[in-house]
Structure 1
Amino acid sequence: MTTTMDEPVDLPLPLDRPEPRPRCGVCAALARQRAKAEAEGDYSKVSDCNIEIREHRSPHRRRRSS
């Protein structure tokens, strides 16, 4: 029986931590949730909050460019 090793997995660098937009209640709420999750060591929730902040920021970019 011949076995071979799989090729190494190439993982990208993690994305930068998204910053909430000033004066946005949704961004502020997500940032508070993220801070609480960090304090509790719930890094899965931290990641979820980062994704939500990143996705929520796209409407801010569209409004700013109009």
Structure 2
Amino acid sequence: MAAAVHVGIPGPEPVPVQGCGVCKALGRQREDARRRLDLSKVSDCNVEIRNHPHGDRA
């Protein structure tokens, strides 16, 4: 049997990197999804912003 899954409180939303067109577009999509109450899309956008590569991020 697998160990229990423990889910914590989500961290803060990622901030789109200034000057990045991809991050800017994802930020707009996220806000549009939030207005439509599409929280699944909001979450998807957060994941994409968080994982979008930038050379200056760890």
Q: TM-score, normalised to structure 1's length?
A: 0.72
Give the unaligned 5+ runs of structure 2. Answer: none
Of structures 1 and 2, the larger Rg is shown by 1
The share of aligned pairs that are identical, in percent, is 52
**Residues of 2 paired with 1:22 and 1:47: CA distance?**
20
- List structure 1 segments (4+ residues) > 6 angstroms apart after TM superposition: none
RMSD over aligned CA atoms reads 1.8
Shift of 1:11: 2.0
Q: Which has the higher helix share?
A: 1
Aligned length: 54
Give the unaligned 5+ runs of structure 1. Answer: 1-7
Q: TM-score, normalised to structure 2's length?
A: 0.81
